[in-house]
Amino acid sequence: VLFFDKKAASDKPQTSKIWIYDLRTNMHFTLKENPLKYEDLQDFIKCYNIENRHERKETYSESNPDGRWRCFTYEEILKRDKTNLDIFWIKDESLDDLDSLPEPSVIASGLVEDLENALEQIKEISEDLSYEQK
């Protein structure tokens, strides 16, 4: 959800901070089994601080990397590829533990082995099809 203030047109940016609340990562909402409820928005409502938005405080920090409320400067957003607002910073628990992945050479060797096995199976199928056509 994006919130904008209606302001007169200007050649200069009219904001210096972009606040983002990550309600996606590790939340897993669904339409039927786990629908989004009002209670799920309470932390966002508190962080948004509509009464005094100039007093907003990030919940994200280096010591709290799972904080869902984070501020980015206008310049940080412009530096992103195509000024993309699809921003993640919380580690997704549904992904494998990236810290314990095998070395790239081990992964590459496994891929080579899998591809060679697949190629052998395709050759056998091709030979079977050629034999059947005779």
Q: How far apart are the first and last CA of the chain?
A: 64
Give phi and psi for 26, each to the nearest 5. Answer: 65, 15
Domain range for 116 is 102-133
Q: Does some domain include residue 30? A: yes
Q: Does some domain include residue 9? A: no
pLDDT in tens, 78-133: 999 999 999 999 998 877 666 766 788 878 888 888 899 889 999 989 988 888 77
CA 55, 61, 64, 67: dihedral to nearest 10 degrees? 50
Residue 76 pLDDT greater than 80, yes or no: yes
Q: Does some domain include residue 60? A: yes
**Sign of the C-alpha dihedral, residues 3, 26, 56, 61?**
negative
pLDDT in tens, 18-67: 999 999 999 989 988 899 999 999 999 999 999 998 999 999 999 999 99
Q: Please give the model's pTM, rounded to 2 decimal places.
A: 0.67
Q: Does some domain include residue 127? A: yes
pLDDT at 52: 93
Residue 46's SS3 state is: helix
Show Cβ contacts of residue 50 under 8 Å, excluding neighbours closer than 6 positions.
none
Do 27 and 73 lie in one domain? The reply is yes
Q: Does some domain include residue 89? A: yes
pLDDT at 98: 67
Give phi and psi for 21, each to the nearest 5. Answer: -115, 120
Q: Does some domain include residue 10? A: no
pLDDT at 96: 64
